[in-house]
Homo-oligomer: A and B are copies of this chain.
Amino acid sequence: MTQRAAAIPALAEAFREHGYEGASLARLCAATGLGKGSLYNFFPGGKEEMAAAVLADVHAWFTGSVFEPLRKAEAGDPGAIGAMFDAVTVYFRSGRRVCLQGAFALGRERDLFAATIAGYFDRWIAALAEALHATGHGGPAARLAAVETVAAIQGAIVLSRALDNPEVFQQVIDQTRTRIGATGTRTASPHS
């Protein structure tokens, strides 16, 4: 059990780097340091179960580190939204690290994990919309702003990777952050 959990981060990085179809079992073995037998012992469903476990792990991390803290904005914490921007900037390494659910949404992997992927972004948008509502945005406007913000983050990852330039990630994040009036860290030096 704990062995299985320990393999998931390595699997996640392999899926991030190579995509679902590109992450062959040979690479997954190399990434985890386990043989095929061990992997199939932990994940009887094969590659699909490994990817599902990784997506669930990512969702769990975001729930604890992003979605739940956003709820603190309801308690009157104006810095909660700013903390979200800081968290995703670190997590996605300023665009150098891919959003797995976003990447899967573009390919045929979406058919396999449609409900999981939609659930992830639904929760994100809902939590952010609540926080925006608590900080003054009107009801429907809060959800629109939440949708636009999450889209901006995903677009920032795509564009910064396309241009191979983490600074454009920072630019998009900073503009989005100031527009919706979030407090918190504004990156002074855009490097690394």
A interface, CB within 8 angstroms of B: 17-19, 21-22, 98, 101-103, 105-108, 110, 114, 117-118, 120-122, 144, 147-148, 150-159, 161-164, 168, 171-172, 175-176
Contact = CB atoms under 8 A, between A and B. Distances in A.
A107 to B, nearest CB: 4
Given A155-B152, A155-B153, A172-B151, A108 B163 contact: no
Copies in the complex: 2
B147 A159 contact: yes
A162 B105 contact: yes
A106 B109 CA distance: 14
B121 A175 contact: no
B172 A148 contact: yes
A19 B105 CA distance: 11
Contacts of A150: 155, 159
B154 A118 contact: no
B117 A106 contact: no
Contact of A106 (B106, B148, B153, B163): B106
B163 A118 contact: yes
Contacts of A171: 144, 147-148
B162 A147 contact: no
A24 B64 CA distance: 40
